[in-house]
Structure 1
Amino acid sequence: MSAQLIQSLLSHLPRFAEEEGVFYPVPRSALLNELCQYVEPGAAETALSLLENLLDTLAVLDRTSLQNGEWRFVSYPAQLLASSILTAMSDADSHLFPANFWNTHSIGNERKESQRAVLRWLETARTEHHAEQNAQPIRFIYVAWSIIKLDGRILFYQREDTQKRHDKTAGDYGLPGGRANQNDIVGAADPAQMLAALQAPNSERVLNALPATLQRELREEAGLRFDEHYQFSLWRRLKPYRQVQGAAPNHALTEYYLDVYQIELTLEGFLYLQQRVAEDERLVWLTPDDIERGTSDDGKIPYIQALYRDFGGDRAALAAALQQLPDSFSAGYRLLQGNPVFIFPIQPGQPIRAGEPGKDKPLPVTLSRQQLQTLLGLAAHARGFDFKSLQPGIALHAYGWIELTEPGPLQTALLELAAALAGSPLPLECRQDRLFRLPIQPASVYFADALFSFVANPDDLRATTSKIPVSIRRAGLETAFGTVAPTSAEFSLPLQLVHDLLDLSKNRYPADNDTAEKIEGRYKKGLHLDPRFKALGLRNLVRREAGVFKFALPFRIEAAD
């Protein structure tokens, strides 16, 4: 449509008084006749219909008058808006925005915000004032999200727009993943076909490309590489939803399509992710309870509105579904018949004992001093003990894994230990000659009694209170990996039980002695079940050996420092 056609109509538009509401309409036929002076009737009708549609969309024309074949403005401000738009369209030198306003290359946040504000206002108005409340989206976004779950927690990634986001309640952290782009669509050499697919609703081609999107995003956000670090499967395809939303200035009524994938990590992926999370503060763990509440204890807000919406707003149901998902990595401990315990000596020449609790026997394995120290390092890490020093070239990982970051004598020692333990109930697991562990449950790892002592204060033993403090100490332990830190756990025990334990430490009672059996029963119903006691790696304090009751540790009576 030429500027001349629009300019010809300006003086023939209806008028509305600025004050007191006086107005007059103009017959549509008169406007059509004016245009016919410049173009054929068909072209004139097309031009007028387009202008009519524009002004009706702006809501400046009275619709009842329009249906009666007349143009009438609804108010003087409406007349001004229509005149402004039409005048700008008729004047080659007029623009509603600067010539470069909509450029997006190398622009600052202020320009982006200006673009976003315009688009958001227009799209919000179009959506809210749609007669059928069913405005059609003009933007289509396809998203791949991942669920990486470890120890019952879900991995989140800090959103890049956290600091400049306008909706401050939207959430700071999203699930690792992101939007599909043109690079994810295989075989899309033709830009027209590729963009047509990306900007179309429910595009099968883009939906099929979401696995590629997932792989790209996990590599970018978490450094994870498909196959080497993980496999994945579709967990949930969310129901499409619409919202006036967008990244930076790309703001419009958008229809979203989201696929959520469940991730299964390899050992290499699990170990790599542990290190990556420790080094990258943008990666955080949130619990299903955090997700249900919508915030963590330290104020991290998950941005998963699409998931909340897909569960009908029932956050508890979403949390329950996430809790039911298996972890993305399994410890993979070996299931050994009879659930045996393993008791590790701390001096060469003493056997490793293994078997069902109370029925343990020596293993037919002979180890050198170096091999025993190597084994003790593996056992201490499997049990979760703290090392106060480590040899260089060693990294400690979860689930008992020890990684050698450089070859050397320790690698040789570990491989020799693996050969020595081969065929025994206590195998050594090895990956790529650099990852090693004892693949047994931490709770089945115990250490010789000589590593521990039981300590009470003489003044407390003379007290008249019902309970007194005692401590169980674990000495430091030298291993091939470094020194395990000594530790001490404090307990409050009944005074009479402490005296009875002292009595057991001094005297020998036959295994069928009623008094000794009662002491053992009281101990096993209390102290023996305390998680802090179990964490020490001590098998027990009281047991029966060779037909007699035995208090297993040195009972030390020491005054407080």
Structure 2
Amino acid sequence: MNNHRVFRYLLDALPLHAEEGNTREDVAESELVSVIQADSGNSIAAKTVVAVIRRLFESLALLDSTALAAERWAFVSFPASLMARSILETLATSGKTFFAPGYWIQGGHRPDEIVDQQRALLSRMENQRTADPKSEAMPIRTVHVAWGIIRFGSKFLLHRREDKLRPDKKGYVFPGGRLAMIDLPVNKRTSESLRDLFRIDSNLAKKAETQTLARELEEELGLLQNEYSATYLRTLAPYKKLEGTQNNHAFTQYNIAIYSIQLAQEGELKVLEKLETAPNAWAWFSASELADGKKKDGKSAFIDAMSAELGQEIQNYLSKVPDSSASPLIYGGKNDAIDLPSKVGEPLLRGDTGRERPFQVDLSPEEWEFLMILGWHARGLVIHPKEKSLTLLGAGWLKLNIEALLTIAQNLSTKLASLDFGFVETHAMGHCRLSIDSSFVFFHPNCFQYQWMLEDADKSIKLTLKRIETEWATLAAENLIVELPDNLILAISAIENGDEPKGDAQRESFRIFGPARAIGLRKFISGKNGLLQILVPTSDT
């Protein structure tokens, strides 16, 4: 049987469809078999060819399903008949291809528009293939992944995926990545290994996962193996999803091994410097943001496999992952929460909310300014450094680039340590941070102001963390709109007028003003000697 001629015979026998309207032919499948059998003399081969082409056309939704149930072929439309004829014409003509030769060859030299075309085609096919809930789709791609969790305090480091940011795709993942053939021993980098690697329980992949992690950490962060240690935590249950960067896009089964990373001092500083030189490639997420899958700035985390397995426990699980820092935070409990002073001469407040006590530190004006810079940065608020005097690094770290700042930092650290509360940490290489969990770093209420927003139907307060101008940086103002229930509006108004509010205004305000803690306000209303007072001054004060 001539392979090309048989498609020509089948093409000539296809039913016709009018270009306009619904006038169409239908033809019995047995007639199509007879056409091919007349040429080949082989009934089995003829039935096989027709069955394959039928399934191809059926999968492309070209044939009318009602007619097909009666063993007859009829096209659903004129364009559908054109698609069928184009396919058979290509198959019937020697040397003809649907895509240009080399179209599917991979490599960094491939133009973006070609890669995007391929991705769009694969995405459309795979989306349709996996959409039917009545049948379980099988994955056609297997990926073995090793993640390294890097945690500094309450923040987790994520890397931007190796793909353009797409509106419908999550953009950040834990450091690490997928296994590559280069991770295998030299004698295993063969085509014979591919079948084992396609298995979700591949022995080769399991043995190579630490090498995968080491290679990825070096590629992404420049970390050498003597600059960190990796501790195995768990392997997630196999996870299936239509995913893949660029044109490696298909319904995929993921096998993900998770490690915690403990950095040596050299490794930690290298990570910080890397984040400084490539800030757009990295993002810090809190455990709650990872549980939500996104940050307020729109950055999203692709950790769906972990979320699917751990569910509501993901935040609790992440909180137990060891800190990666070579020098973990010294203070991380609620009893060490602090309110930084709003001016020189004002004491810090230290302690759990409701039990704060003054902590007197004699700060020079320069030390106070530097302390506020550290607090702003610990909270992740906007800072505009002046004349490259300092560099903002991740996890609350600053790199101090001038001698004057280095001296101030060292003096401040020594002063606090002498008072047995050494929460300003310095390193010999010019790095400094607040060594307190950032969720327990607050600012004195006098650093804020508020004003009523009562236009239209809105009932809210605009809360502002006021800008601070220092010698080395501008600490940008932060605004927050807090929507208030009617009872709290009445309570705040009563306190403003010197009256006693109804209900538990202190408890209610602590709940409603919860979002303000993200910009450093511990509480809006406080009670003293049985009287309630608003701690934050108004914008008119």
Fold in common (TM above 0.5)? yes
**Which of 128, 142, 145 is the aligned partner of 1:143?**
145
**Could you tell me the TM-score, scaled by structure 2's length?**
0.57
- 2:287 is aligned to 288
Aligned partner of 2:104: which letter? W
8 Å Cα contact 1:188-1:194 kept in structure 2: no
8 Å Cα contact 1:6-1:89 kept in structure 2: yes
Change beyond 3 A, Cα 1:67–1:318: same
- 2:236 is aligned to 238
Aligned length: 356
- 1:552 is aligned to none
Aligned-pair distance for 1:184?
1.2
C-alpha root-mean-square deviation of aligned residues, in Å? 4.2
- 1:46 is aligned to 48
Change beyond 3 A, Cα 1:45–1:292: closer
Which is higher, the Rg of structure 1 or of structure 2? 1
User: Distance between the aligned counterparts of 2:30 and 2:193, measured in 1?
Assistant: 45
Aligned-pair distance for 1:266?
3.0
| Mean Cα deviation higher: 16-25 or 28-37 | 16-25
Aligned to 2:13, the other structure's residue is in SS state coil
Aligned partner of 2:180: which letter? N
User: Distance between the aligned counterparts of 1:442 and 1:324, measured in 2?
Assistant: 33
User: Distance between the aligned counterparts of 2:215 and 2:89, measured in 1?
Assistant: 49
- 1:326 is aligned to 322
How is 1:155-304 mapped onto 2 (pairs within 5 angstroms)?
Answer: 155-161=157-163, 164-166=164-166, 168-186=167-185, 188-189=187-188, 191-226=190-225, 228-281=226-279, 282-296=281-295, 300-304=299-303
8 Å Cα contact 2:122-2:249 kept in structure 1: yes
Change beyond 3 A, Cα 1:333–1:78: closer
8 Å Cα contact 2:235-2:258 kept in structure 1: yes
User: Distance between the aligned counterparts of 1:441 and 1:57, measured in 2?
Assistant: 73
User: Distance between the aligned counterparts of 2:329 and 2:97, measured in 1?
Assistant: 70
Aligned-pair distance for 1:441?
11
- 1:460 is aligned to none
8 Å Cα contact 1:115-1:249 kept in structure 2: yes
User: Distance between the aligned counterparts of 1:273 and 1:217, measured in 2?
Assistant: 14
User: Distance between the aligned counterparts of 1:34 and 1:481, measured in 2?
Assistant: 83
User: Distance between the aligned counterparts of 1:299 and 1:3, measured in 2?
Assistant: 54
Change beyond 3 A, Cα 1:320–1:10: same
Aligned-pair distance for 1:110?
1.2
How is 1:458-469 mapped onto 2 (pairs within 5 angstroms)?
Answer: none
- 2:59 is aligned to 57
Aligned to 2:159, the other structure's residue is in SS state strand
8 Å Cα contact 1:333-1:441 kept in structure 2: no
Aligned to 2:114, the other structure's residue is in SS state helix
How is 1:308-347 mapped onto 2 (pairs within 5 angstroms)?
Answer: 308-312=307-311, 314=312, 317-329=313-325, 331=327
Aligned-pair distance for 1:213?
0.8
User: Distance between the aligned counterparts of 1:165 and 1:296, measured in 2?
Assistant: 15
Change beyond 3 A, Cα 1:123–1:296: closer
How is 1:465-544 mapped onto 2 (pairs within 5 angstroms)?
Answer: none
8 Å Cα contact 1:3-1:91 kept in structure 2: yes
Aligned to 1:37, the other structure's residue is in SS state helix
Aligned-pair distance for 1:82?
1.5
- 1:416 is aligned to none
User: Distance between the aligned counterparts of 1:481 and 1:114, measured in 2?
Assistant: 49
Change beyond 3 A, Cα 1:18–1:287: same
Per-residue CA deviations over 1:52-89 (Å, capped at 9, x if unaligned) read 22122222223444344333333333322222211221
User: Distance between the aligned counterparts of 1:491 and 1:41, measured in 2?
Assistant: 89
User: Distance between the aligned counterparts of 1:321 and 1:81, measured in 2?
Assistant: 52
Aligned-pair distance for 1:109?
0.7
Change beyond 3 A, Cα 1:131–1:75: farther
User: Distance between the aligned counterparts of 2:18 and 2:429, measured in 1?
Assistant: 91
User: Distance between the aligned counterparts of 1:77 and 1:11, measured in 2?
Assistant: 17
User: Distance between the aligned counterparts of 2:320 and 2:129, measured in 1?
Assistant: 42
Aligned-pair distance for 1:444?
5.2
User: Distance between the aligned counterparts of 1:481 and 1:242, measured in 2?
Assistant: 45
Change beyond 3 A, Cα 1:44–1:332: closer
User: Distance between the aligned counterparts of 1:332 and 1:72, measured in 2?
Assistant: 71
- 1:76 is aligned to 78
Aligned-pair distance for 1:327?
1.1
Identical aligned pairs, as a percentage? Answer: 30
8 Å Cα contact 2:182-2:189 kept in structure 1: no
Change beyond 3 A, Cα 1:50–1:198: same
8 Å Cα contact 1:155-1:285 kept in structure 2: yes
- 2:36 is aligned to 35
Aligned to 2:191, the other structure's residue is in SS state helix
Change beyond 3 A, Cα 1:26–1:296: closer
Change beyond 3 A, Cα 1:272–1:42: same
Aligned-pair distance for 1:183?
0.9
- 1:96 is aligned to 98
Change beyond 3 A, Cα 1:292–1:243: closer
**Which of 418, 430, 433 is the aligned partner of 1:445?**
418
- 1:407 is aligned to none
Change beyond 3 A, Cα 1:442–1:301: farther
Aligned-pair distance for 1:275?
4.0
Aligned partner of 1:14: which letter? P
Aligned to 1:311, the other structure's residue is in SS state helix
Change beyond 3 A, Cα 1:51–1:295: closer
Change beyond 3 A, Cα 1:197–1:187: farther
8 Å Cα contact 2:200-2:238 kept in structure 1: no
Aligned partner of 2:78: which letter? Y
Change beyond 3 A, Cα 1:99–1:332: closer
Aligned partner of 1:165: which letter? L
Aligned partner of 2:216: which letter? E
- 1:523 is aligned to none
Gap runs ≥5 in structure 1: 335-379, 387-397, 401-436, 448-479, 483-489, 493-561
Gap runs ≥5 in structure 2: 331-366, 374-394, 398-409, 421-427, 431-443, 447-541
Change beyond 3 A, Cα 1:299–1:120: closer
Aligned to 1:8, the other structure's residue is in SS state helix
User: Distance between the aligned counterparts of 2:12 and 2:130, measured in 1?
Assistant: 33
8 Å Cα contact 2:158-2:283 kept in structure 1: yes
Aligned partner of 1:87: which letter? E
8 Å Cα contact 2:260-2:322 kept in structure 1: no
Change beyond 3 A, Cα 1:131–1:37: farther
**Could you tell me the TM-score, scaled by structure 1's length?**
0.55
8 Å Cα contact 1:182-1:198 kept in structure 2: no
Aligned-pair distance for 1:6?
0.7
User: Distance between the aligned counterparts of 1:279 and 1:33, measured in 2?
Assistant: 70
Aligned partner of 2:165: which letter? R
User: Distance between the aligned counterparts of 2:183 and 2:240, measured in 1?
Assistant: 23
Aligned partner of 2:173: which letter? G
